[in-house]
Structure 1
């Protein structure tokens, strides 16, 4: 009789312990499983991530993130659009749950957010006046020619330029690509720095005035991997997301979803892992 009571007590304690452990899933896992919307944060960055006419999430970073979330069984997704510089602060302030804006993994950012494994690898470039009158192809060209560079606040190009010796007073920072294009067109800056996608798309919007530089001119270390970012405490959800993304990346379904946004097989991330990238970028 005593043994039976002891056994029953053990079973009850184990059940309570199990329930306690289960209830300690991270906040995003609890939110998603309760049916609340998963809020995805992004800026207006064509073709990475941007809102459609009805605020729907467009761009290849959004397409991949939404595809992965759907494969996990989550279809209640709420877009939240903000300025690029507000993405990490917005995540930390719980204005949204995930950053899907096409953010490069860097050591500095890794201190503030938890990145999923990379979804793609990309190079950077400049926009310059037609004919590239100053012959700007690299950050060292900007330094040597005493030129002024403009980029979007929060872009990795600021740190890249500083690393290559561009003086801080020669780096203009603006809120968006629209202002970057305007600065180069007006002659307030000699070159605008961003991703090659940025440079190509901005040049196409002003084909008689602006042209992109060749991303291959920049050193290899300026190539970057892009990933979805989570709050550091949402490790359970991040682990599940990584497993689902590994099955989704490179599939015909995924490539079809991103094809309209200029992403091709050439941008697939390869074997680099987020931990290594955090330590080396």
Structure 2
């Protein structure tokens, strides 16, 4: 996932592409959020959509991660997921969206205790998360890429290259790329964990590491103004020995299948018309990131 947007199957923070928080985070959020938990609906499939229509606003859990969901310099909510949410929820009869910022690793726990109504953070769909929440179908797909020094002096193009050439490797907090590197044979304790792709770029430019792994989108965006670093060509990481493509999607509480299904209907319309790409393009997404992957496929169902 990773900017990242980034985001896999490793259970460990803020992205993307990033993964689930631990039991402590769940406990802390549960204690903090108890007073805000509404009564659970007895309606089959949930009645959250009806309640959102009546309220006129939907609360979006975001992780403050560019380009997925963040508050810009003007104090406005934006990013690929919030902008998509504005369009879809408007079509569903909900006029406004409201941001509820939190750390990426706290998104699923926060959703569970109803601190917000939906996760809108470009979260990667994987079996571990599918056991906790239900996902809409992915609104984008994503390959991995590396940030390396100009000219890629060590010839690093895959995780296997990183292992074989004993390169100093970094990635972001909670990124799915941690597990991809470990699966390739990199020792987890040797991985440098940094806050995000900007910190990763700085580490590469300063020579503290040879390579930073993130999503293809975030790496290509962050190196645009760098004179010392470049992004490698996108590639598929190996999961279970097989090439893998990640997909990011909105997440809902498991009881709210009616809302998830209604969201998917509108998402499919946007894909078919080409409007989805127009919404996501300002955030660096290209036709290569459009996808027909389904949540069921990525959940392993």
Name the structure where helix makes up a greater proportion of residues: 1
Aligned mates of 1:261, 1:153 — CA distance in 2: 22
The C-alpha deviation readout for 1:6-47, integer Å capped at 9, x for no partner, is: xxxxxxxxxxxxxxx985662633531331531112223333
**Does 1:98 pair with 2:118?**
yes
- Match for 1:51 among 53, 59, 71? 71
Q: CA deviation at 1:128?
A: 1.1
Unaligned runs of 5+ in 2: 1-40
CA RMSD of aligned residues (A): 2.4
Q: CA deviation at 1:91?
A: 2.2
**Does 1:76 pair with 2:100?**
no
Match of residue 215 from structure 1 = 234
- Match for 1:259 among 281, 290, 297? 281
TM-aligned CA distance change 1:269 to 1:208, over 3 Å: same
Is the 8 Å Cα contact of residues 144 and 216 (structure 2) preserved in structure 1?
Answer: yes
Match of residue 4 from structure 1 = none
- Match for 1:113 among 133, 137, 141? 133
Unaligned runs of 5+ in 1: 1-20
Is the 8 Å Cα contact of residues 43 and 87 (structure 1) preserved in structure 2?
Answer: yes
**Does 1:188 pair with 2:208?**
yes
Is the 8 Å Cα contact of residues 124 and 222 (structure 1) preserved in structure 2?
Answer: no
TM-aligned CA distance change 1:88 to 1:164, over 3 Å: same
Deviant stretches of 4+, over 6 Å: none
**3-state SS, counterpart of residue 147 of structure 1:** coil
**3-state SS, counterpart of residue 99 of structure 2:** strand
Aligned mates of 1:25, 1:224 — CA distance in 2: 27
Mark the structure with the bigger radius of gyration: 1
What TM-score, normalized by structure 1, do the two folds share?
0.82
- Match for 2:108 among 62, 65, 88? 88
Is the 8 Å Cα contact of residues 146 and 219 (structure 2) preserved in structure 1?
Answer: yes
**Does 1:165 pair with 2:185?**
yes
Q: CA deviation at 1:176?
A: 2.4
